[in-house]
Amino acid sequence: MDLSVVVPLYNEEESIGELFAWIRRVMAPLNNEYEVLFVDDGSSDNSWEVVTQMAKKHKEVKGLRFRRNYGKSAALHVGFEAASGDVVITMDADLQDSPEEIPELMRMINEEGYDLVSGWKKKRHDPFSKTIPSKLFNRTVRLVSGIKLHDFNCGLKAYRNEVVKNIEVYGEMHRYIPLIAKQNGFEKIGEKVVQHQARKYGVSKFGIERTLKGFLDLLSVTFITKFGKRPMHLFGGLGTLMFFVGLLAAAWLGGRKLWFVYHGIQAHLVTDSPYFYISLVSMIIGTQLFLIGFLAELVSRSAPERNKYQISEKIL
């Protein structure tokens, strides 16, 4: 199989037939073997019936259906598991991603050797309420991850099959697939300016709240990728630092009190100083952080994936 197109969908009965027809027109002159895998994320309309009818008429159409709505990341995860193409391309079902980009995305993977190519909707047909938070979000992710992409959240992406079989997408982490891929050793990540279509049917399934969720997920994926197997390095380091800062502050207060007593100078009680309680709280928090790191290390060492590593080649 040359190509798998994975299409997560949720209540998109008006557009999926038109999308598949568009993909067929694009693929017809290429002479490539391909499949279009629709993943129905618990739609409440007739989306699955449309997919079923298309599958009866066209052998390229395949489908998976969730019993309820789990989210886009879950749909991508099962789609990646089922995909058999050498190149895997994801796109949204709402016709805002153009199938005309497929040939060039395939070429970049096959000929230029990219592990992952992410679309960049340079010219967007979205209201300012979506574009401005998106720019802020992308700038933050670029700064944190070091990956020079302009549009992390673009649904139109292309992957080598090996990439999708070796990454795990869960929760709301579909926004950070390039970061997850990089942390798994797939570092050749490219970008292509893609055409963005105005929405033709329905309404967006994502609101402004996804921006806040996106930043929280960024903290999660950054922590998991950097400290998932060594949480003691983070919590233990912070705890030790805070404990010794509090200890030094308490020692300074005690030394200052003794110096005053030694020279016969009247001084307030150490416990009368607010700095005493600040130093005490610092030592308590430091101890708690250290214990959190210790417990997290025990959990990490007990995880079945603790010695799961990415191996690119074998000679046995």
Comparing 107-111, 210-214, 273-277, the range with the smallest average pLDDT is: 210-214
Q: Which residue has the higher pLDDT, 208 or 32?
A: 32
Q: What is the pTM of this model?
A: 0.75
What is d(CA 219, CA 63) in angstroms, rounded to the nearest whole number?
Answer: 33
What is d(CA 298, CA 232) in angstroms, rounded to the nearest whole number?
Answer: 9
Question: Strand pairing partners for 116?
Answer: 159, 189
Q: Which residue has the higher pLDDT, 212 or 32?
A: 32
Q: How far is CA 312 from CA 56, 185, 233, 271, 309, in A?
A: 38, 9, 28, 61, 10
**Does 268 have pLDDT greater than 90?**
no
Tell me the pLDDT tens digit for each residue of 114-168.
999 999 988 776 666 667 777 887 888 888 788 889 888 889 999 999 999 998 8
Residue 213's pLDDT band, with cuts at 50, 70 and 90, is low
Tell me the pLDDT tens digit for each residue of 29-87.
998 999 999 999 999 999 999 999 999 999 999 999 999 999 899 999 999 999 999 99
Residue 305's pLDDT band, with cuts at 50, 70 and 90, is low
Predicted pLDDT at 316: 60
Percent of the chain scored above 70 by pLDDT?
Answer: 86
Average pLDDT over residues 222-243: 81
Predicted pLDDT at 310: 55
What is d(CA 45, CA 50) in angstroms, rounded to the nearest whole number?
Answer: 10
Predicted pLDDT at 308: 59
Q: Which residues contact 157 (CB under 8 A, 6 or more apart)?
A: 89, 90, 116, 117, 118, 119, 177
Assign residue 85 a region (left: φ > 0; alpha: ψ between -120 and 50; beta: otherwise).
beta
Report the chain's mean pLDDT, rounded to a whole number. 86
